[in-house]
Amino acid sequence: MRPILAITLAAMAALGTGLSSATFADATTYGETASALRCLLDKGQNGCGAVFVGNASRAARFWVGQNPNRDVELGALVSSGYARTETGDNVYISRFFHGRTADLYEVKFKHSIKTFYFAHPEADGKIHDLLVRGGSADPADERRDMFVQGPG
């Protein structure tokens, strides 16, 4: 990250102002899933929410559009970043994504941390599976969540 950008983001965070798209994961590195994350965190502006279909459209509904309750509950966006790519070898991915590859992003808000799981886009360019769970992208948090949710 360029020093001036880092200083600007730190100053914005300290002042409690909203963070710009510059804090989102680098879309050129992770492609469509980073763009999908940006779409959700930007509240689906410019109709980008149409990329979510099927199961993903239900999960995206909470994030697309204005939702004052969501904004108060989560607080301001603090940071977001790519965590890793998981395959069907991961029990969590196997259960919720039927073994398809997913990119994970950890997003920190003032009052909460969320992990976003995006299945890679299908041939139609749409994202068919999306999962957002509370907690960090740490695999230990994932195992705790599986323990609470049960095996299947």
**What's the rounded mean pLDDT across residues 121-148?**
83
Largest CA-CA distance found in the chain, in angstroms, rounded: 48
Full-model pTM: 0.76
Q: What number of other Cβ atoms are within 10 A of residue 20's Cβ?
A: 13
**What's the rounded mean pLDDT across residues 127-132?**
93
pLDDT category at 147 given cuts 50, 70, 90 is: low
| Choice between 146 and 64, residue whose per-residue pLDDT is larger | 64
**What's the rounded mean pLDDT across residues 54-80?**
93
Instruction: Give dist(CA 94, CA 78) in Å, integer.
Output: 30
The residue ranges of every structural domain in the chain are 3-149
**What's the rounded mean pLDDT across residues 122-143?**
88
Q: What is the pLDDT of residues 1-17, one digit of tens each?
A: 444 433 333 433 443 43
**What's the rounded mean pLDDT across residues 45-73?**
92
CB distance 82 to 34 below 8 Å: yes
Instruction: Give dist(CA 9, CA 116) in Å, integer.
Output: 22
